[in-house]
A and B are shown apart, each in its own frame.
Chain A
Amino acid sequence: MNFFLVATLSLAAFATVAGCASPPADLDLSLTRPSAAGKYVVKLEPPATPAAINQLHAWRVVLASPAGAPVPRARIAVDGGMPQHGHGLPTRPLVTQEAPAGTYVVEGMKFSMTGWWEIRLAIDGPAGADKVTFNTIVSEPRVAQASAQ
């Protein structure tokens, strides 16, 4: 399938989301964020190859202290959903392996439709429990501009 995940903020991304439920204009799509209580700095890395709709894929989470030191051996639970549609993720993603430097592999990610998705992480590490929510926009790929007018 030729659907692609577009994790950048753009009007084009908004416009190609079907169903008329445009995400908030000020939606924060940054992929590096402090956790809610400031205990960690969390970076979310999308797959290198854009993920297709309804295909399982993997993301990576890079966990650091506020000072930038890698945080290994944390437990991370993954949740999420579509705030504008009232449903959760179609799968229950799991951290399946821990890589060096506070990097965690999250497998079992899946998006079943275009639009605004939240990815919520519950982190339990050496500095205690904390949470962080990321936003991402899944949109259709662009087709070629019409030549006939």
Chain B
Amino acid sequence: MNPAASAMPGLKLVLRRIGGVAFASAVALAAIARADPAPTAADAERWSQADRDVLASLSLKRLPSTPDDPSNAVQRSPAAAELGRRLFEDARFSRDGTVACATCHDPARQFQDGLPVARGVGTGSRRTMPLAGAGHGAWLFWDGRKDSLWAQALGPLEDAAEHGGNRTRDAHLVARNHSADYERVFGAMPDLDGLPMDAGPGGSPSEKSAWDALSESQRESVSRVFSNMGKAIAAYEASLRHEPTRLDRYIDAVVAGEPAGPVALSPGEVRGLRLFIGKAQCASCHNGPLFTDQQFHNTGVPPRDPAKPDRGRAGATAKVRDDEFNCLGPFSDARPAQCQELRFMVTDDPAMEGAFRTPSLRGAAQRPPYMHAGQFATLERVVRHYMEAPTAASGRSELAHRPSIGRRGAPTGRAPIELTDAEVGDLVRFLHTMDADR
């Protein structure tokens, strides 16, 4: 297929939407649409100034170091990170002694498991998320039910389908196996003598009643150890960073005005990149150096089990607000004034129904399956989902269909994503330019 011809429907759409006032911009876009597929070392010079501004925003160079977490005083402590790594890899923190954080967050696989839904001591309901760069978002998990790395790390430890552990058992295990490392970071372990082996507020009925039988100060001591486990694991996770990829080297050359030369992308990858920041609309939400806006969107991804639609963000705001391990809770190191994200959290937006957090695309091409419950096996299927824009099973999809556009003079509302088969292939090719080297 002639690439120029295949780009024409999109070009016409662009021209209609921009109107005559911005004709000069439209001419520039037309030039882009007719980009020659022939591979040449001059590819870098074909990007317009506006394109280069957008490309620069995607470079890993633009990513600051992991932001400080005022709720975790030890996030930057190397000793805490080392303790955190040991805890992360220790399968004793699970009901049957086989599940560590690293079981699902496999360091050899970008800290995820390649499964549609997580498999711990039981089977979860959502896809394991990778960990590099996780400390850059205000909200954790697909639904944002936690507001820090350390609070996130605690969830699976007590979850019946993941580690299936409980708080007193975890505290006893820290005392038995990690006390020297723990005390180096957090000071003396509390006296756990006489505390039951299995007790916790979220466990089995017997664990709950054993937890209720503890004194308030005993519960506080155990929860303190438990929260400190999370803070150490968070320190480790905050040290996990993305490495620059082929795309970063290409972008940095383009932005510097240098010939891409040895770091040039293939013609198909370059076409995919143009689509990504252009009419495919990917960069609307997959923006910035991590390729995510860190926000929640309903894009009509079908639920894994049609009988059980997942409410996503709508089901999570009360959880994070009421979480004893949130920024405002008794185990946080932050002053209340530092908990701005909780203070200004959106809790009543109907658009949060069925909405999930935008995932980073760095390394994503090496991490099938896709979406919040691994619904799609391939990237091509993902791209076609955004083109099909199905009606959401719960809530309302932000994606648009063709009938919703074309009102002359009123280019409001979202444009549908319309791509040829060749363009779908180019987008997928482009996504592989963010493959991790290892």
Contact = CB atoms under 8 A, between A and B. Distances in A.
Interface string A53-91: 110100000000000000000000000000111111111
A24 B411 contact: yes
Interface string B339-357: 0110111111101000000
Interface string A72-112: 00000000000111111111111000000000000110101
Interface stretch (A34-42, A120-128, A136-144): A136-144
A148 interface: yes
Contacts of B343: 94, 108
A35 to B, nearest CB: 21
Contacts of A23: 411
A113 B293 contact: yes
B237 to A, nearest CB: 19
B288 A87 contact: no
A19 B277 contact: yes
Given A21-B415, A141-B53, A148-B259, A113 B285 contact: yes
A96 B121 CA distance: 46
A14 B351 CA distance: 26
Contacts of B297: 87
A40 B136 CA distance: 40
Nearest to B258: A148
Contacts of A88: 346, 349, 351
Nearest to A148: B257
B413 interface: yes
Given A90-B295, A94-B344, A85 B64 contact: no
A16 B287 contact: no
Contact of A22 (B24, B64, B411): B411
| Chain A interface mostly | loop
Contacts of B57: 2-3, 18, 114, 140-141
A112 B351 CA distance: 15
B265 to A, nearest CB: 17
Contacts of A86: 351, 398, 400, 413-414
B53 A54 contact: no
A12 B347 contact: no
In this complex, the interface size class of chain A, counting residues with CB under 8 Å from chain B, is 35 or more
Interface residues of B, number: 61
B28 A15 contact: yes
B21 interface: yes
Give the most central of B56, B63, B347, B410: most A CB within 10 Å. B56
Contact of A84 (B18, B254, B346, B411): B411
Contact of B50 (A2, A12, A19, A93): A12
A22 B16 CA distance: 11
Contact of A85 (B21, B255, B284, B410): B284
A20 B351 contact: no
A19 B258 contact: no
B22 interface: yes
A91 B284 contact: no
Contact of B281 (A3, A20, A24, A143): A20
B381 interface: no
A115 B284 contact: yes
Contact of A146 (B21, B52, B62, B411): B52
Closest 5 CB pairs of A and B: A108-B344, A146-B257, A15-B50, A19-B284, A25-B21
7 contacts: A11-B24, A16-B54, A18-B284, A85-B284, A143-B52, A146-B45, A148-B259
